[in-house]
Amino acid sequence: MHIGVVLMLSELTPKVTEVAPMVEERGFESLWVGEHTHLPVATVHSYTKGRYAGDKAKGGYVPDYYKRFLDPYVTLAMAAACTRTLRIGTCIALPAEHSPLILAKEIATLDFLSGGRFEFGLGYGWNPLEMQNNGFEKADRRQVMREKIAAMKALWTEPTAGYSGKFVEFTESWSFPKPIQSPHPPILVGAAATPANLADIVEWADGWLPVRSFLAEGVGNGIEKLRAAARSAGRDPDELSVSIVDPEGSMGGKRSIEEFTRRMVTPDDLRAYEEQGVYRLVLGVPVSDLDFLQRALDAVAACRTTAGV
């Protein structure tokens, strides 16, 4: 089983050019960053009702880092430039909020320049205002996503491609470079195990990238649902990878290294994930300062060594 880290980098944290080599040097397989194109001021998040809200809920509190996401593709290009083998991925990107013509070229260029190391983790999005500001309604997000992914796949894999849909329309066009990975970078859907989401994964994705806390019935049960959906659709379940995201280590603000290690995964957890068929575990690590980040990475690396995964 592979182990990666997801980092909430911003202009207030250590730079990715400092962090990515540290991640690679400790033997982690991958580095992942998230995306929000912007944060509308009127946004109200589920955090306003959840455990992180506290007294701030009355004001429609949204965690500060939602305001500060760096562009993921520029960030990952910088990570690729200062590493050699580290895979780089989005966790989670929001392709429905982009032009497929522009995003297809950006991703193909990133995959080309990184030597074929990019993983395209994506989601449908949760913020209605963010979607409206990017030109569509939340009710349409699944169809918008499907059309844009189909259009990008065509641009990546065909000599020339055009597309005519409800939300995407462009004439027959050349789009270069093509991605190094064939037929394109792995597409991993970050979503709960609902029938509609699993049907999408089976139909047009290469894997599943759910957040562990969203799997109310457990990781093993979620994996079996995915495999059953694949079999029902006539697809080989082994074609679909499962990467579990556990961002807990990066949540909750500043803490001591002792508190971080108390709450992080254990060797037994890692072995259990591997036995359940998890291909990759993506762990959140705090990025408040470089020294703490290094110590946290060391703690996770030691856990991985103990577990023998």
183 preceded by a cis bond (ω within 30 of 0): yes
- pLDDT tens digits along 153-173: 999 999 999 999 999 999 999
80, part of any domain: yes
176, part of any domain: no
103, part of any domain: yes
Contacts of range 187-190, beta carbons closer than 8 Å, 24 or more positions apart = 187/120, 187/122, 187/149, 188/89, 188/119, 188/120, 188/121, 188/122, 188/241, 188/243, 189/122, 189/123, 190/91, 190/92, 190/121, 190/122, 190/123, 190/245
Q: How many domains does the chain have?
A: 1
213, part of any domain: yes
151, part of any domain: no
Terminal-to-terminal C-alpha distance of the chain: 6
37, part of any domain: yes
Residue 53 pLDDT: 47
- pLDDT tens digits along 63-89: 888 999 999 999 999 999 999 999 999
127, part of any domain: yes
82, part of any domain: yes
Residue 251 pLDDT: 60
CATH code: domain of residue 97: 3.20.20.30
Q: Look up the domain containing 289 and give its range.
A: 2-137+186-307
Which residues of the chain fall below pLDDT 70?
Answer: 46-60, 216, 250-255
| Nearest one of 107, 103, 109 to 119, comparing CA atoms | 107
Q: For the chain, what is the mean pLDDT? A: 92
